[in-house]
Structure 1
Amino acid sequence: MKLEEDKLFSLVEEISKCNEIDIRDIPCIDLYMDQITTFFDEKLGHLKRDEKDPILTKTMINNYTKDKVLIPPKSKKYSKEHMILLILIYNLKQILSINDIKSLLKPLLKDLEVNGHENISLDHLYSTFIGIKTEELDSFNKDFENRLKRIKDNLSEKNKHEYSKHELLLVVLTLISQAYAQKRLAEKIIDSYFKQSK
């Protein structure tokens, strides 16, 4: 039982590490498409669930631009702003639909188009996001320990003698319940504040 629990906590520890792209690691020079996909594979490749899964492809980038989720490149080159937006899109698409992402980013893209980078501190927005995400992942580790204790306390004596699949099922169900509540709240915020009234 202890061995299985140690393995579970090592998985939590792996998730809790925030290995996001630091703002200082984002190139300040404009890049071509191939350079961008290579950059993302190098920096975020560790997040792949399956080695064959792409982090970002040319088709994805082209579709984001076509769907107006990403500002168009200039002379086939992508700026630091594009890179930050692509990182944000990558994070958002783990949970939200592309239509929700489009609604959420539309005001930001409009401001970038009208005012340019000078009036909008995309760097600051991104750095703030990474800082908060790091704190959230730190607390995730502690929250998980409490969640596991609650599950163990509620299992029958019969199941406590072995590290049962029931326990793991309850772990997954509680994780999904929390993720669902957070996803629904994010969707309600988008619906209430970012989607145009019909």
Structure 2
Amino acid sequence: MEKMEEFLTELDIQKETTTDDLPEIDLYMDQVIQLFEKKFAGAKRLDEEKVLTKTMINNYAKAKLFPPVKNKRYTKEHLMLISLIYQMKGVLSITDIKETLHGINDRLDDDDFNFTSFYKSYQNLVFHNTDIFTKQIQDHTAAVKDELKNSMDVADAEELENILLITSLASLSNLYRRAAESLIDELNGEQQEKEK
């Protein structure tokens, strides 16, 4: 893996919608889409990909991933929820996302629940995760090089290093996804107990 700093920069991993990025006024759907396209443009794999579309937002609304929209305007809380959905949708199913956000959606009308503070906690964890991820990628890359050097005598090993790194990262990603799914199942069980 050549030039680790360049590689990490290309990943654009620092992108996250902060509360400062979100307007205090309610937005129409087209404005929401523009906001997310601008904020997450660097996170797209291909230029022609869409970060968010009307169909996606409508599907999220139909799945009740966020509270109903009033007068076709999306509040700051809607935007924060859409940001959470955006981050989870690459890993979790819509059903899992709905289950995860169920507790938040139930609390949004509760005066004791400050969703903005919750979202800021999420942001802090994302920035912390970015630091951990950067260190893990550097350590993982070094481990891949060592593994290849110890197990194979290959003159030009860069391609094999990249393949081994890809397969190893995919395996690690599956472990994180499975851990998240296990926590979702636990949330689901707790919710079912409350409903009894």
Q: Tell me whether the two structures share a fold, i.e. TM-score over 0.5.
A: yes
Distance 2:129 2:18 in 1: 17
Distance 1:138 1:75 in 2: 41
For the residue of structure 1 that corresponds to 2:157, the secondary structure is: coil
1:118-146 residue CA offsets vs partner (Å, 9 max, x unmatched):
33211111111111111211222221121
Distance 2:60 2:152 in 1: 53
CA RMSD of aligned residues (A): 1.8
Structure 2 residue 89 is the aligned partner of structure 1 residue 56:
no
Structure 2 residue 16 is the aligned partner of structure 1 residue 23:
no
1:1-198 paired onto structure 2 within 5 Å: 5-6=2-3, 8-15=4-11, 17-112=13-108, 114-115=109-110, 118-155=111-148, 156=151, 158-159=153-154, 161-195=155-189, 196-197=191-192
Moved over 4 A (4+): 195-198
Q: 1:157 to 1:187 in 2, by over 3 A?
A: closer
For residue 79 of structure 1, what is the amino acid of its counterpart? T
Asked if 1 retains the 8 angstrom alpha-carbon contact of 2:12 and 2:42, the reply is: no
For residue 188 of structure 1, what is the amino acid of its counterpart? S
Distance 1:141 1:104 in 2: 26
For residue 62 of structure 1, what is the amino acid of its counterpart? N
Q: Which has the higher contact order (CA 8 A, sep 6+)?
A: 1
TM-score with structure 1 length normalisation?
A: 0.88
Q: Which moved more, 1:186-195 or 1:84-93?
A: 186-195
Q: Percent identity?
A: 34
Structure 1: 5+ residue stretches without partners: none
1:143-197 residue CA offsets vs partner (Å, 9 max, x unmatched):
11211222222224522x3133221111011111111111000000001123554
